[in-house]
Amino acid sequence: MQTHDAKRVEITIEKVMLRRLTGALESADVTGWSVLPVLGGSGRSGTWNRDDQISRGTGLVQVVCLIRPDKLDALLDAAFEVVDRHIGVVSVTNAQVLRAERF
């Protein structure tokens, strides 16, 4: 099976910042992503759990994008402007995809 190089970018960010992040991704010409709920975790800001969040808007979500490698810099620049001052993690991994024309 023919596969193609791609980059998988995972951005874990506060839910309240989600709309700003997806707006930034659109402005960087990234048209596809998935949003996943984060149930809980632990990090520099301490341990947290989604059940403990009264406002249901203060938890974290993860945005996952699979993109062509040449789009990576534009995506990271756009995402950085949003996540710079906020809690969150941005990671990039190499991936292989089928049907390269979709990315």
**Residues binding other proteins (CB under 8 A):** 14, 16-17, 19-20, 45-46, 49-58, 85-87
Residue 39: CB minimum distance to other proteins, A: 10
- Cβ-based nearer residue to other proteins, 32 or 40: 40
State the Cα–Cα distance between residues 77 and 95, nearest whole angstrom: 20
State the Cα–Cα distance between residues 59 and 37, nearest whole angstrom: 9
Residue 30: CB minimum distance to other proteins, A: 20
State the Cα–Cα distance between residues 2 and 87, nearest whole angstrom: 38
Helix (H) or strand (E) run with residue 83 in it: helix 72-83
Residue 55: CB minimum distance to other proteins, A: 4
- Cβ-based nearer residue to other proteins, 17 or 25: 17
